[in-house]
Amino acid sequence: MPSDSPSTATENCKGCRTSVRIPPHEVQRILDEYLRDHPQPLADEPTIHRRLKTCAACEDLQYSTTCRHCGCLVAILAHLKGKQCPHPEGAKW
């Protein structure tokens, strides 16, 4: 019977691969491209830093980049002022 542990869930995830590990310059490129099509306000630097620190400590962060609950790159999600943590047991930020 398959385990429901986060590490097993990550290994069995068909959508996630090691290619989700991206360098900071790629995060910025993706964010810029996203904002061209979806303009919206950005969070300030202290808020982004706090959000990323919270995500880094979360047991549901996969590959150090991806939220298990929404599939988003947390480095992108944390920049968007109007977004919240998608954790199903309550937003952590």
Residue 1 has pLDDT above 60, yes or no: no
pTM: 0.76
Using CA atoms, how far residue 36 sits from 7, 16, 33, 39, 43, in Å, is: 35, 25, 5, 6, 16
C-alpha angle 93/20/7, rounded to 5°? 75
pLDDT (tens digit, 9 = 90+) per residue, 67-85? 999 999 999 999 999 999 9
pLDDT band per the 50, 70, 90 thresholds, residue 8: very low
Higher pLDDT, 30 or 19: 30
Q: What CA–CA distance (Å, rounded) separates 79 from 18?
A: 22
Residue 10 has pLDDT above 50, yes or no: no
pLDDT (tens digit, 9 = 90+) per residue, 48-69? 999 999 999 999 999 899 999 9
Residue 87 has pLDDT above 50, yes or no: yes
Three-state DSSP class for 87?
Answer: coil
